[in-house]
Each structure stands twice: as C-alpha cells, then as structure tokens.
Amino acid sequence: MLKITEGSFAVADAVRLSRPGVIAAYPITPQTHIVERLAEMVADGELESEYITVESEFSALSACLGASAAGSRTYSATTSQGLALMYEVCFNVAGMRLPILMTIANRAMSAPLSIWNDQQDSISLRDSGWIQFYAEDNQEATDLHFIGYRAIEDHRVLLPAMVCFDGYILTHTYEPVDIPTEEEVNGYLPPFKPYQRLDAADPISFGMYATPEYYMEFRYEIDQAMQRANEVIIQAGKEFGEHFGREYGSLVESYRMDDADTALVAMGSVCGTIKDAIDELRSEGKKVGLVRLRTYRPFPTMELKKALDGVSRVAVLDRNISLGSKGAVGLEVKDALYGSGIVVLDYIVGLGGRDIRKKDIAAITALVVQGKGDMFYGLRTEVL
C-alpha cells in the first residue's frame, strides 16, 4: 500500500511486519519516533511482541542479546551517543553470532554536541562484526529491514546488522513509501529458526572465556561469515525483487556510469543530491557518474571494482572522518582500487549536518579533475 509517511513511521511499519518477538530500545533524538510508534503498536495490539522498557541503550542491546540467545527475533534502534553506549554489547552480540537487527538514525558524535546528521556513529563501529546497510531514501530504508532479517538469520551468516538512514533528512521527512501487506511479508520472511539457543533441557554457553590458543579462530569465523554475507545479501535482494518488484540484487548502485570518466562514490541520502548534480553536469558535457554503496560491511570490493572499471578518477564523499587519516569510505575505496591506476581522492563533507548542495558536488567534481583532494571540503577558514 502506497502512503505518504514519515521515514521513522515507515521503519516502524517494517519492524511490525517483520514480527520481532522482543523489542528493547531507549529513546534518543532523532530515533525516538521509531520506538514511540512501536510502543503504540504493541500497546494497541497491532504487534504481538514483548516491548522492554529499559533505562539506557546499554540495557536495551543487552536485553536483545539475551532474547536472541533464547531464540527470539529481536529489534532495537538508536543513534550517536546511544550507539556509543552500546559499544561493549555490540562486540558481544557479533561474537555470540546473534542475528539482531538494529536501526541507526545516523547522527554526529559529541563533543561538541550535535543532533544533526553525519555517519560517524555507525562508522565508528565498522570493526565490531555488524553488517552495515546504508539507505538513500525512506523506501529503501523500509525494504532493507526485510532484506536484513532475511540475510542475517540465514545460517550461513548469523551476524547482527545495522540499517542506517540519515537522521532528520530521512527520519523526519514525509515521502511516498510502499508498505507491503502482512501476507506479502510473510511470504518473503519466514519465522526465525535459531541455529542454537539457550535451553534448560539442553544447556549450552555463549561468549565464554577464550585463551590465546582459540580466540583468533573465533575472529576468523566472524570474518568468514561476513564474507559469505555478500552473496546471501545479494540473493535476499534478488528474491525481494521477485516478491515486491523492487530489485536489490547488488551491494552497489551505478548511476550514469556507462561512459563516465569521473566517478563519485558515496552512501546515504546525499546520493539523491549527487544524482541531480550529475544530471546538470552531464548537460554541460561532463562525463560524471555515481557509484552508491548500499553496504559498508561487508565492503563490496569486487562489485565496486567492476562498477568503476574504465574511469580515470574517483572522488569519494565521506560524511565521517577517521581522525589522523582519511574518511573511512575513502580508505576502503583506495584499498579496493590499489594498483588499478585510477586516481582516488577523498573529500570530508557534511559533518555535523552541514548542507551538501549541488554546487558543492560540482565544485568537488572540478577539484578531482584538477587532482586536488584528500581534504575537508567547505571549511569555514575565518573561524579557524
């Protein structure tokens, strides 16, 4: 059913249709509308789920950990400092191979305090063992929850996942979103069947002490599961297209790349602005295209290399910064294209919610053609 709805409410509908047995979350801007709506759904009998009211984000993800270990499909949502408070538990969830899905309403990290959007919060947990999806718009944010559950509960994967979408820009924006019916989702997303679970009649342990003789093998197994997730996510996206008519059979999306000699690489809602800017640049005769990342973990190295084959230069737009180095996406793209001869330059943009406009995209395109990059773009030098 197509309806005009706020991004947070569309995500709440997706969670309801995914039928989690346990929800635990703590409200924090700009994620609050998601869990408020879910609490209403549970209270009104629209969703049969145990909604656990907790005192912090640490408690929220801890409750999800226990519920998932006991065999329930579980869900949480957070952002920024709330995700930081979950840090310890995020590593535990991945290490215990618990397929928990969590929505991240991307927001800048403090200090200084900011409630506006960038992707520093989720990027800061890139090495925790969580799959990371990044949505361009609210339709994709909605659909990725179904695809996410389908992929992470596959016994070849069994890893947690974050569905990331930009705070305020998407969470509080009203857009047309096609919300599927309960019957349609049930036909795509089967009930959760845990690989193993806590059972008093057949006791097992999760997350036990590991000596140096065994710890490294556990990390290897998580890495291998992340590698297998590439194909599982692609297959889940293709099957989603067969059920709903919206194809997600790739971890990257290419836009006007057929004859491009310059490519922009980015992820999240800024890609809509980039597409509009590219259309204008194309009308001026500039051969520019976009490769948008749908997943950051697992990083789609092979698909990215294929999508960028034939270009001369790449400008990466990073809404994050690995302080003392470069943007996290830029580092990955440079690694993926190492030895290819393609020039890759990184631009740190939009931190703390600063606008990224079409004229900024055009300016960055000019900079990469000139070979000028690896910079914070748009700094207010008068205040430095």
188-230 residue pLDDT tens: 999 999 999 999 999 998 899 999 999 999 999 999 999 999 9
252-383 domain in CATH 3.40.50.920? yes
Neighbour count for residue 149 (Cβ, 10 Å): 28
Average pLDDT of 241-250?
Answer: 96
Which class is domain 2-244? alpha beta
Q: Residue 344 corresponds to which tokens in the numbers above?
A: 């890759």
Phi, psi of 54 (to 5 degrees): -120, 170
In the chain, where the domains are located = 2-244, 252-383
pLDDT value of position 378: 94
Per-residue pLDDT for 30 more than 90? Answer: yes
| Spatial strand order in the sheet of 50-53 | 50-53, 22-25, 74-78, 101-106, 161-166, 131-134, 295-297
Per-residue pLDDT for 234 more than 90? Answer: yes
- Crossing angle of helices 57-69 and 87-95, in 10° steps, is 10
DSSP alpha helix (H) spans, 96-207: 120-123, 138-152, 182-188
**Do 252-383 and 2-244 have the same topology in CATH?**
yes
Phi-psi region of 99 (alpha: psi -120 to 50; beta: other; left: phi over 0): beta
| DSSP states of 37-67 | HHHHHHHTTSS--EEEE-SSHHHHHHHHHHH
106-136 residue pLDDT tens: 999 999 999 999 999 999 999 999 999 999 9
Question: Percent of the chain scored above 90 by pLDDT?
Answer: 98
- What confidence tier does 384 reach under pLDDT thresholds 50, 70, 90? confident
Average pLDDT of 283-306?
Answer: 98
pLDDT value of position 201: 93
Average pLDDT of 36-44?
Answer: 98
pLDDT value of position 304: 98
68-108 residue pLDDT tens: 999 999 999 999 999 999 999 999 999 999 999 999 999 99
- What confidence tier does 265 reach under pLDDT thresholds 50, 70, 90? very high
What is the DSSP code (8-state) at residue 383? Answer: G
120-176 residue pLDDT tens: 999 999 999 999 999 999 999 999 999 999 999 999 999 999 999 999 999 999 999
Return the SS3 of 92: helix
Identify which of 330, 322, 270 has the alpha carbon closest to the alpha carbon of residue 296.
330
Vertex 285, ends 281 and 289: CA angle to 5°?
A: 50
Q: Residue 123 corresponds to which tokens in the numbers above?
A: 């990027």
Per-residue pLDDT for 383 more than 90? Answer: no
